[in-house]
Structure 1
């Protein structure tokens, strides 16, 4: 019978730079144990059904499928989120946007809009930190909206609402103190879309026309119609798009325009305040 150690060793050839960590996650998922257990009881036997499940998951990972889609979950801002192929996999750089949003001097009962919410990562992180805020999460994908709503319910975050909307199309005359978005910003011809994890993620949530700037520009142009006076807009974008997004914001009348870098030092989040 297979042991914990032998099964971990079987995953040593997984692709990428974190083969061992991936194997640990998959084995913990199959046997419903913690990582500590794996190294406390390395010679413990694993029942045949769990071992077979694990070996099957290793094959999926060898084919390049992202760990988050294999296990159906990903941690973001210390929240465990369900993810599925309708949603992007939340990434650490997006936490920079959350940090900035939480530092803004917004009203205690602010109205916040998360455009293109996907799994709900940004909306749920903000809602968990500011229980008096009302966070409105929208996405044009029914599958994404269902995923975000399920996550909100499981995390008992009653200050989040989720609905389908093509950006602002279904929002009526509502105005917000803060709008946040991690929209598609990859150029449709970018070769990375056919490589690694990106092959499995929804193309509609990754790529945008005009060298990846089309959706960013749409949001910048339309946002003032939905912002309260002195409301803020924060946008995630590609590592080489900060100057273009800053120019868009300034041209649309935003002030206090600036860009923040993620933990890797890449210029990743740009925002501004609209005085109205």
Structure 2
């Protein structure tokens, strides 16, 4: 009887050739198991692998084949050039959400010590990305999930300088604005809220099956969280403060209508890299 390490599949090259997964996914999982850089899968591709490494890879391969997201399997996802810890308790950061970060950074560019509120922070991706570029900014991030806030705090501790000039990024357990101090005011409020309508078939497909449902859907028409964020923003926005919200691919016109009806001016929607309107915002009307 030959050992695992003597079989053709017990090398990196052999495992990748035999994998039922798309090539990129297989490479990500194998590099994670081996602790190798992706280039090493080529340069060291014919090295014999130990039985434990092979077994670990095949276990992860089976999890991915069953549909579990890569980000949850490896416990990390890159966003805005930073690597965030990801668990089943938080939404997986997605490239289209980087549009929100860029938009907020543009809005606060002329404001020293800008005040930013991130509603429904999840992994902390938006708040931490903003703070990484603007260490002077005073960023407060809220989420109703203590488990999500724990992940966000760990990400901040690993990714941000603890001695930030503007003070530490602040985390708060809150259902939107409920736990904020009444005197709190912000130059920008930003949110990637749950915007998928209940009954949408996407909720039962792909990665979404494994992500926290409460971060994906409002269990209504997909706009109730957005309405709540817009309606509650008034007392917390500084004069001429900005509010920006991510939404679904077909919701831009309805979100613009919600903002306009609430008295916001210069309401606009911005396209992501695919040309889809993904973020809509406006400026609080002068009092």
Bin of the TM-score, shorter chain as denominator length: over 0.9
Conserved 8 A contact 1:185-1:215: yes
Partner of 1:169: 178
Partner of 1:230: 240
How far apart, CA to CA, are the structure 2 residues paired with 1:210 and 1:257? 24
Residue 269 of structure 1: SS of its match in structure 2? strand
How far apart, CA to CA, are the structure 1 residues paired with 2:40 and 2:82? 22
How far apart, CA to CA, are the structure 2 residues paired with 1:46 and 1:230? 60
Instruction: Tell me the TM-score normalized by structure 2.
Output: 0.92
- 1:151 corresponds, among 143, 150, 155, to 155
Conserved 8 A contact 2:132-2:160: no
Which 10-residue stretch deviates more, 53-62 or 157-166? 157-166
Partner of 1:130: 134
Q: Number of aligned pairs? A: 271
Conserved 8 A contact 1:124-1:157: no
Unpaired segments ≥5 residues, structure 1: none
Partner deviation per Cα, 1:26-85 (whole Å, 9 max, x = no partner): 011101010011112211122221111010000000100000000110000010000111
Partner of 1:34: 37
Shift in Å at residue 209 of structure 1?
4.1
Residue 233 of structure 2: SS of its match in structure 1? helix
- 2:198 corresponds, among 178, 181, 188, to 188
Conserved 8 A contact 2:191-2:246: yes
Unpaired segments ≥5 residues, structure 2: 163-167
Partner of 1:46: 49
Partner of 2:18: 10
Residue 114 of structure 1: SS of its match in structure 2? strand
Residue 50 of structure 1: SS of its match in structure 2? helix
Instruction: Tell me the TM-score normalized by structure 1.
Output: 0.96
Q: CA RMSD in A?
A: 1.1
How far apart, CA to CA, are the structure 1 residues paired with 2:145 and 2:130? 21
Q: Is 1:250 aligned with 2:260? A: yes
Conserved 8 A contact 2:84-2:155: yes
Partner of 1:115: 119
Q: Is 1:214 aligned with 2:224? A: yes
How far apart, CA to CA, are the structure 2 residues paired with 1:166 and 1:196? 28
Shift in Å at residue 157 of structure 1?
4.0
